[in-house]
């Protein structure tokens, strides 16, 4: 079965890419993922705060001398608060590139244009084949409007774009008022792909211990939100699309591809089942396509997107009206 796909300009033998997570930082795991057939790897993010804190600390050390350094910078988030330092991150790119033959995507997390964007160039120089710009933030400032948040993010993408030549995907959260417009602006700014969607850790409240907890791994129902926007974006944009969030089996992958995804990133499933999950997903996807008489993955891609699905209203507001009108029947069938 021909499962090949093209993502960010790379021809890949199949669509299952290990997504950004600590798994793709460990050399042993990275080799195991390649052995299991991973066609590309996305490293965990290097964070804007981390780069800024390190460069402030270095500047301070120069200004104050080594003796006062530790005390003077103690109010800053130190490099130790993060998983890896910036030099270590660049070194990891080199080590991973030396260990595998598949394309390696480095990930940068940032939300404001600034000096830190030079790190994109350092990642490229260290050997990254592409970049994933992870625009992860929770916009909680009541004085910043939606338009200001979006302008800032577009300016960030522009700054990173001007720093590198390698392909660049942008990973976003779904919480934008006019997502289709933002996607268009990002494509116009030079993004080669969109990764939908970053998954906030969705704090849950533990009522017994009365504390806030982070929720992970993901649940497969989370793919629904991705499907909706993949279906819309694949009908409107030319750039590459990757799904991330809630893909635990070949069924979620089939859905994402029918809605227009070129690639499907997987994290929770790998953490749960190990690198072999990639091999299993690929085999199961091939079986699924054969059983449903497809000749290739490309034949299936986008078959249920906004412009090709038999009833596009299902992606639009009409869906809601239909539910209101037929809820009784729906209730009987669904519950």
Ligand X SMILES: Cc1cc2nc3c(=O)[nH]c(=O)nc-3n(C[C@H](O)[C@H](O)[C@H](O)COP(=O)(O)O)c2cc1C
Contact 250, 284 (CB under 8 A): yes
CA distances from 312 to 19, 207, 261, 306 (A): 30, 42, 17, 5
- By the rule CB under 6 A, 247 interacts with ligand X: yes
Pick the closest to residue 139 from 192, 176, 108 (CA basis).
Answer: 176
Q: Where does this chain touch ligand X (CB under 6 A) — which range of 88-96, 113-121, 238-246, 281-289?
A: 238-246
Nearer to ligand X, 123 or 247 (CB): 247
Burial of 326 (0-12, 13-18, 19+ CB in 10 A): exposed
Show the site string, 94-123: x = touches ligand X by CB under 6 A, - = not: -------------x----------------
Q: Where does this chain touch ligand X (CB under 6 A) — which range of 7-15, 182-190, 244-252, 319-327?
A: 244-252
Structure tokens at 278: 């990639």
Q: Buried b / exposed e across 49-80, counting CB within 10 Å, b at 16+? A: ebbbbbeebeeeeeeeeeeebeeebeeebebe
Phi, psi of 107 (to 5 degrees): -120, 130
# binding residues, ligand X (CB under 6 A):
22
- By the rule CB under 6 A, 268 interacts with ligand X: yes
Interstrand relation of 193-196 and 240-244 (parallel, antiparallel or unpaired): parallel
Nearer to ligand X, 73 or 226 (CB): 226
Nearer to ligand X, 16 or 315 (CB): 16
Distance CA 93, CA 37 (A): 19
- By the rule CB under 6 A, 193 interacts with ligand X: no
Phi-psi domain of 190 (left: phi exceeds 0; alpha: psi -120 through 50; beta: other)? left
| Site residues (CB under 6 A) for ligand X, limited to 136-165 | none
Q: Judged by CB under 6 A, which of 110, 246, 260, 302 binds ligand X?
A: 246
Q: Judged by CB under 6 A, which of 216, 299, 313, 325 binds ligand X?
A: 216
Pick the closest to residue 192 from 9, 40, 14, 6 (CA basis).
Answer: 9
Q: Where does this chain touch ligand X (CB under 6 A) — which range of 152-160, 177-185, 216-224, 225-233?
A: 216-224
Angle at 257 between CA 254 and CA 258, to 5 degrees: 85
Give min distance, CB of 171 to ligand X, in A: 5
Give min distance, CB of 300 to ligand X, in A: 21
Q: Judged by CB under 6 A, which of 3, 8, 17, 21 binds ligand X?
A: 21
Q: Where does this chain touch ligand X (CB under 6 A) — which range of 214-222, 255-263, 291-299, 313-321?
A: 214-222
Q: Judged by CB under 6 A, which of 245, 260, 275, 302 binds ligand X?
A: 245
Q: Judged by CB under 6 A, which of 131, 244, 258, 262 binds ligand X?
A: 244
Q: Where does this chain touch ligand X (CB under 6 A) — which range of 52-60, 63-71, 139-147, 260-268?
A: 260-268
Pick the closest to residue 274 from 29, 31, 24 (CA basis).
Answer: 29
Binding site for ligand X (CB under 6 A): 19-22, 44-45, 107, 134, 171, 198-199, 216-218, 244-247, 266-269
């Amino acid at each position: 079965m021909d499962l090949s796909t093209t993502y960010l300009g790379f021809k890949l033998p199949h669509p299952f890419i290990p997504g950004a997570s600590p798994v793709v930082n460990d050399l042993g795991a990275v080799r195991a993922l390649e052995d299991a057939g991973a066609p590309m790897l996305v490293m965990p993010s290097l964070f804007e705060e981390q780069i800024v804190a390190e460069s402030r600390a270095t500047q301070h050390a120069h200004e104050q001398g080594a003796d006062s350094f530790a005390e003077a910078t103690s109010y800053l988030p130190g490099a130790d608060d993060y998983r890896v330092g910036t030099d270590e991150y660049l070194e990891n790119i080199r080590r991973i590139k030396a260990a595998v033959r598949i394309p390696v995507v480095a990930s940068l997390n940032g939300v404001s244009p600034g000096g830190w964007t030079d790190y994109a160039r350092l990642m490229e120089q260290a050997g990254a084949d592409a970049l994933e710009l992870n625009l992860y933030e929770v916009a909680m400032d009541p004085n910043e409007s939606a338009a200001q948040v979006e302008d800032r993010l577009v300016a960030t993408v522009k700054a990173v774009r001007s720093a590198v030549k390698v392909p660049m995907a942008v990973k976003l959260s779904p919480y934008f008022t006019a997502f289709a417009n933002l996607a268009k602006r990002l494509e116009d700014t030079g993004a080669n792909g969109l990764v939908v969607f970053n998954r906030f850790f969705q704090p849950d409240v533990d009522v017994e211990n009365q504390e806030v907890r982070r929720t992970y791994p993901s649940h497969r129902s989370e793919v629904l939100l991705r499907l909706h926007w993949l279906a819309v974006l694949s009908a409107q944009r030319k750039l590459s699309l990757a799904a991330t969030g809630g893909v635990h089996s070949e069924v979620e992958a089939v859905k994402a591809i029918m809605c227009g995804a070129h690639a499907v990133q997987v994290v929770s499933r790998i953490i749960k089942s190990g690198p072999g999950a990639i091999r299993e997903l690929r085999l199961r996807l091939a079986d699924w396509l054969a059983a449903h008489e497809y000749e290739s993955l490309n034949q299936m891609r986008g078959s249920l997107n906004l412009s090709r699905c038999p009833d596009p209203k299902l992606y639009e507001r009409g869906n809601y009206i239909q539910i209101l009108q037929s809820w009784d029947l729906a209730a009987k069938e669904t519950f």
